A and B are shown apart, each in its own frame.
Chain A
C-alpha cells in the first residue's frame, strides 16, 4: 500500500475525506501493520466527482469481483454505494460513506483531528473516535488493536 502517494493524490484532488481504520491507528502510534487504506468520504456531489477523478489515475477496480468484470468508478457509483473495496495501482483502498459506531461523514469529521504530514493537511479520526469505531466494528482484527489504542489513550490522558 503506497499510503503517502494515495493520500497526497486525494488531498491534491481536493477530496473531503477522513482517514479511518488501520492507518489512523498508525498515526496515533499503533504498531499493527495494515494492508489497506480506509477512508470515509463526503457524499456532496462535488466531492464525489473529485474523489472519482482522483482515483481514476490509479485504475480502481472492485477487489471482490473478477479482474475482467467492467467497473466504472464515477460519481453515480460513489453516490449509490456505502462501501466500496477497491484494488488500485497504489494498493487496496476502502471507501466508506459512513462508519459503524460514529455515523455519517459529518459525524466522522466531527470526531477527527487534523494532521500535518507530507506537506499536506490530512484528517484522521481522533483516538476516542477511532476506539468507538473499532469497538463497534467488533471484528477480531478490530478487537486486537483495541486494547493497544486504549493503552495509548490512557498514556496520553492529562493528570
Chain B
C-alpha cells in the first residue's frame, strides 16, 4: 500500500533546489516557461496534504461567497 507522506527534510531540500534552479530542458523548466509560478510549488511542498487541502478549501469557500455576493448584487 502506497502512502502520500510529507517530504523528509532531505527530499524537501532537493525538490526546492530543483525548483529554484531548473535544469535546462527539464520538465520543471518547461513548467516555468508555461507560466507556472514555481515558488508556489515550493510553498505547497512544505505543507502536508491536509494543509494543502485546508488552504485551498478556505480559498474555494471564500471565492464562492464572493460569487454569491456578486450574484445577489446583480438581482
Contacts and interface: CB of A to CB of B under 8 A. Distances in A.
Most buried by A among B4, B41, B44: B4
Most buried by B among A35, A91, A118, A147: A147
Contact of A150 (B1, B27, B52): B27
Given A33-B56, A124-B4, A154 B44 contact: no
A153 B59 contact: no
Contacts of B50: 115-118
B75 interface: no
A113 interface: yes
A4 B53 CA distance: 8
Nearest to A1: B60
B27 A27 contact: no
A124 to B, nearest CB: 7
Interface string B60-72: 1101100000000
B7 A113 contact: no
Interface in B1-49: 1-4, 7, 11, 14-16, 18-19, 26-28, 30-32, 34, 36-38, 40-41, 44-45, 47-49
Closest 8 CB pairs of A and B: A151-B31, A117-B50, A29-B44, A155-B15, A150-B27, A147-B34, A147-B31, A113-B4
Interface of A: 1-4, 23, 26-31, 33-35, 91, 112-118, 124, 126, 147-148, 150-156, 159
